[in-house]
Amino acid sequence: MALRYTTSTLRHLSWLVALLPAMSFAQKNSAHSNPAQTWTIGPFNRPVSSPILSPRPASSFTDPVSGQTVHWEATSTFNPSAVVRNGKVYVLYRAEDDSGEMKIGMHTSRLGLASSDDGIHFTREPEPVFYPADDTQKDREWPGGTEDPRLIEGEDGAYVLSYTQWNRKSTSIGIATSKDLIHWTKHGPMFPGKDNGAYHSYKSGGIVTRLSNGRLIAAKIQGKYWMYWGEVEIHLATSPDLIHWTPVENADGSPIAVLKQRVALFDSAFPEVGPPPVLTERGIVVLYNGKNGSSDGAPGLDPGAYSVGQALFSATEPAKLLERTTVPFLKPELPFEKTGQYVTGTTFAEGLVYFSNKWFLYYGCADSLVGVAVSAERK
């Protein structure tokens, strides 16, 4: 079917001017981006030269599916999302246990929760807060687990989670909601009934947000919520309520592609959705993860390495790409970003918050650890 939205002008979104009293646009970007691109978020620097979350082999809980005591964050803690709540930063991160085969994707993943007063030093909950269970989603989530969260706050104060459901056969984007980040309601896959063709195995979804009173809140455009989703190609979906989603499709029923790979650049293998995008006065800023190609990749990056770039889409036409960075602003450089399950290295961004007049970007390191990058203070 044809695209399900109409074009309007920026005058219909005059409220955008008041959205961003605290937002920092890089008037002069870092050395990793084009100085002419003043719409980007950042620039970012690493405040510490070590990971902020690491595996804890002693952590245990009773798994509801197997009934066994498992060490749920024994091998890896990575790919975090984040929100600001009650004056603190809360990070929801992927943790892998020590079950299964010793290779990527073959442990069971669950989501842990950690909180921080400064965005850098975290206190963790002793048990995971989101995981496979003997519920309606068991067939999609067991034994692979619940992976790679993207977390946003709704206009009513409730939290909406998009995450990867992995049963070691195929993936799908699951949707869940919570009022306290501890207790969750699972709503099932984002596209129920679409388990074939382009929708056979899909992952990575970021819901468009706006900055309001220091928090990123789900944003409506043309009366609907929007999500950028997918890896290899990035697509779009819309929703009336943040739970039920409809893909934006071409006339032949395939999902439209709004971002693709580029030869000889950091995303030459493919792009993949990063943290929830941000609606700004310049447009929708999409931070995304690019995988470098093995034969036609960017110089200075190892083949297969993941780094982070930014793309700008129209504020009124979310499918319309306006600009895109040609070099990453964050890439694997430090030892802990290149040491772990994914030895080539990743700075895989999934969490973005505005906190203490700064942007905090949380990312996974080599599928094993959690790192953070922070912008300069801007009011």
Residue 221 covered by a domain: yes
pLDDT of res. 379: 67
The Cα 292–Cα 192 span in angstroms is 32
Question: What number is the average pLDDT over the span 297-322?
Answer: 97
Question: What number is the average pLDDT over the span 90-118?
Answer: 91
Of 28 and 126, the structure prediction assigns the larger pLDDT to 126
Question: Cβ contacts of residue 251 below 8 Å, gap of 6+?
Answer: 1, 2
pLDDT of res. 339: 87
Residue 15 covered by a domain: yes
**Does the pLDDT value for residue 27 go beyond 60?**
no
Closest CA to 15 of 208, 212, 264, 153: 212
pLDDT digits (tens, 9 = 90+) for 130-189: 999 999 999 999 999 999 999 999 999 999 999 999 999 999 999 999 999 999 999 999
**Does the pLDDT value for residue 279 go beyond 60?**
yes
The pairing of beta strand 69-70 with beta strand 220-221:
unpaired
- Domain boundaries, position 317: 10-375
pLDDT digits (tens, 9 = 90+) for 215-250: 999 999 999 999 999 999 999 999 999 999 999 999
Residue 1 covered by a domain: no
Residue 237 covered by a domain: yes
Identity of the amino acid at 282 = R
For the beta carbon of residue 224, count every other beta carbon within 10 angstroms: 16
**Does the pLDDT value for residue 12 go beyond 60?**
no
Could you give the C-alpha distances from 326 to 10, 307, 310, in angstroms and in order?
A: 27, 12, 9
If one counts the domains in the chain, the total is 1
Kindly state the tokens that stand for 81: 């999302």
Closest CA to 163 of 202, 136, 198: 202
Cβ proximity of 290 and 271 under 8 Å? yes
pLDDT of res. 197: 87
Of 22 and 291, the structure prediction assigns the larger pLDDT to 291
Give the whole-number percent of the chain exceeding pLDDT 70. Answer: 90
Of 27 and 33, the structure prediction assigns the larger pLDDT to 33
pLDDT of res. 106: 81
**Does the pLDDT value for residue 128 go beyond 60?**
yes
Residue 54 C-alpha from the chain's centroid: 19
The Cα 123–Cα 89 span in angstroms is 11
pLDDT digits (tens, 9 = 90+) for 49-91: 999 999 999 999 999 999 999 999 999 999 999 999 999 999 9
Residue 4 covered by a domain: no
Residue with tokens 């922070």: 374
CATH of the domain at 165: 2.115.10.20
Confidence of residue 374 (pLDDT cuts 50, 70, 90): very high
**Is residue 143 reached through a cis peptide bond, with omega within 30 degrees of 0 on the bond before it?**
yes
Give 376's DSSP letter: P
The Cα 157–Cα 155 span in angstroms is 6
Cβ proximity of 257 and 233 under 8 Å? yes
**Does the pLDDT value for residue 309 go beyond 90?**
yes
pLDDT of res. 102: 73
The pairing of beta strand 209-212 with beta strand 278-279:
parallel
Confidence of residue 378 (pLDDT cuts 50, 70, 90): confident
**Does the pLDDT value for residue 34 go beyond 60?**
no
Paired strand residues for 353: 360
Residue 173 covered by a domain: yes
**Is residue 43 reached through a cis peptide bond, with omega within 30 degrees of 0 on the bond before it?**
yes
Mean pLDDT of all residues in the chain? Answer: 91
> From start to end of 55-204, where are the E strands?
61-62, 69-70, 76-85, 88-96, 109-116, 123-124, 145-153, 159-166, 171-178, 184-189
Closest CA to 276 of 369, 154, 103, 136: 154
Closest CA to 352 of 210, 232, 251: 210
Cβ proximity of 283 and 316 under 8 Å? no
Residue 3 covered by a domain: no
For the beta carbon of residue 313, count every other beta carbon within 10 angstroms: 25
Closest CA to 44 of 338, 331, 339, 340: 331
pLDDT of res. 133: 98
Give 126's DSSP letter: S
Residue 274 covered by a domain: yes
How large is the C-alpha radius of gyration of the chain? 19
pLDDT of res. 30: 35
pLDDT of res. 105: 72
